Amino acid sequence: MINEFILALPLLLIAIGSILVLMLDAATRNKQIVYYTSILVLLGLGISAGYTLQFDVAIIAQADKTISANTIFYGGMSAVFDIIFAMGGLLTLFASREYLQRNYKEINECYSLVLLAVVGMVVIAHSNSLIMLFLGVELMSIVFYILTGFFRNREHALEAALKYFILGSFASGFLLYGIALIYGSTGSLILSDISQQIASGNYNSIYLSIGLGLMTVGLCFKVAAFPFHQWAPDVYYGSPTAISGFLCTSGKAAALVALVVVAKNVLSVETSNVNYLLESTTARNILAGISACTMIIGNLSALAQKNVKRMLAYSSVAHAGYILMGIVACSTEGFYAVAFYCAVYLFMQVGAFAIVGFIEFRDEGNMLISDYADLRTTHPALAAAMACFMLSLAGIPPFGGFFGKYFLFVAAIKSGYLWLTLIAVVASIISMYFYIGLILTMYFKNNENPINVGKMQGTKLTVALSIIGVILLGIMPNVFYGLFNFTF
């Protein structure tokens, strides 16, 4: 029998740690201490999550869960996502420090806010109750509203924050209504109980169908999937560049893990109730449609962009579409693929945003694609790194992005969604155009006024770690994939 406190170690560490960082921030004027404590806390989260990963899911299932009243899911998938979120937080911290120092002096709050957002994400990944799911989503979103408007004397940032706030809380309303109807239909907020009720056909099918629909709308809003993706590019463009990387990787992964949690417990359940309006296949077909539109629209809009940051923002919409394929597949394999792609996507997108932040000149200069021309001669290392990330985002073989897409495609085909896979292939071919286009600009175009960037050690660390991650996941994906054998 495992003690519940050991299983809850990642949650406890990050929750206490984030409050500790907040207190340190108030207590001392020394910014170094706050920064390094935040890094330590995130490292602790990753290590403790890795520690709980060793326990078999079957053993965890038997553990005594009286303290959390079965509202929290331990180990397995949630531990894998803990590690992903810890990594995302770390890369963001490294990249954001100098970026903020260069643009703005007020930096300590940023670290505690990033940690609090990670708490929200971890709570989502661990939720076995719709209450926890909602609280996690809200904790994360509220922190994101603040982080988006962090440069509070820039009009762009404030405007993005207001847009994000209005649309985000609008979406939370839908999510909440969906939760209320699911609760009314099945009589429980605990997800494992809900799936039992559905399996036994003991629920009100109208409430459940509407509830699931509303919840999907709310979560698709947070993921920035097709009909609800309009806010995403504006927000990612308006927020500080180091933070945009965090929003569109870790934030997106957290919203996707919320969808995974719901799909695992509700969609994948076979029901004996004949009156179920939105039974599994219908719901999955709707999701498949959303996923297909998201990929196509995201990539087509990215094609038209002249600003690198906006291009990456639109391409992140398209990547959400790819990852949704794993949820459409709704199989264990699909969920593995979601986790794998989230990890790879984290490395490549945070790395790319770190470079954009590196090159960005005061007050949003140097952000057009044409500014990147001839980066090869002025900053060869940066150009090479950016080329790596672009190739990985486009899904070219030696890098992790290829295997991420491969696993997603395999999972979708195995669940009978060949048409979705074909659309995804077409979408990634479209995306090659602008990813490769940036590489061509960097390597084969002349620039009359070549850009010059200052020294940023932490950002270099982020870029280096991201490259290592992208290449490692690309040349030996089985190592990471092997982790999943005893999860879920």
Partner 1 sequence: MQAIPMEFYLILSGILFTIGVIGVLTRRNAIIIFMSIELMLNSVNLSLVTFSSFMGDAAGEIFVFFVMAVAAAESAVGLAVILALFRKKQTVDVDKINLIKW
Partner 2 sequence: MLTDFGIILLFLIISVLFVGAGLVTAALLRPSRPNPVKNSTYECGEHPWGGSWVRFNPRFYVIALVFLVFDVELVLLFPWAVVFKDLGWFAFLAMLVFFAVLVVGLAYDWAKGYLEWDKPSPQTPKLEDLVLPKKIFHKQQKDS
Residues binding partner 1 (CB under 8 A):
130-131, 134-135, 138, 142, 145-146, 149, 152-153, 155-156, 158-163, 165-166, 169-170, 172-173, 176-177, 179-181, 183-184, 187-189, 233-234, 237-238, 301, 304-305, 310
- Contact criterion met (CB below 8 Å) for 372 and 308: yes
Q: Which does 396 bind (CB under 5 to 8 A by kind): partner 1, partner 2, none?
A: none
- Of 164 and 340, which has the nearer Cβ to partner 1? 164
Residue 109 Cβ vs partner 2, minimum distance, rounded to whole Å: 9
How many whole angstroms separate alpha carbon 408 and alpha carbon 360? 34
DSSP assignment of 317-370 equals HHHHHHHHHHHHHTSHHHHHHHHHHHHHHHHHHHHHHHHHHHH-BTTTBS-BGG
* Residue 82 touches partner 2, criterion: CB under 8 A: no
Cβ contacts of 485 within 8 Å, gap of 6 or more? none
Residue 408 Cβ vs partner 2, minimum distance, rounded to whole Å: 40
Residue 56 Cβ vs partner 1, minimum distance, rounded to whole Å: 30
- Contact criterion met (CB below 8 Å) for 377 and 448: no
Q: Residue 116 corresponds to which tokens in the numbers above?
A: 């609090």
Centroid of chain to Cα 209: 27
Name the nearest CA neighbour of 125 among 235, 14, 244: 14
Please choose, out of 24-32, 125-133, 255-263, 370-378, the segment that lies near partner 2 by the rule CB under 8 A: 24-32
* Residue 69 touches partner 2, criterion: CB under 8 A: no
Please choose, out of 25-33, 212-220, 349-357, 452-460, the segment that lies near partner 2 by the rule CB under 8 A: 25-33
- Of 20 and 472, which has the nearer Cβ to partner 2? 20
* Residue 166 touches partner 2, criterion: CB under 8 A: no
Backbone angles phi, psi at 378, to 5 degrees: -75, -45
Give the Å distances, CA to CA, from 358 to 260, 382, 447, 457.
34, 9, 18, 10
* Residue 22 touches partner 2, criterion: CB under 8 A: yes
Please choose, out of 23-31, 146-154, 175-183, 456-464, the segment that lies near partner 2 by the rule CB under 8 A: 23-31
* Residue 19 touches partner 2, criterion: CB under 8 A: yes
Residue 174 Cβ vs partner 1, minimum distance, rounded to whole Å: 8
> DSSP 3-state helix, strand, coil percentages of the chain (rounded to 5)?
80, 0, 20
Residues forming contacts to partner 2 in the complex (CB under 8 A) are 19, 22-23, 25-27
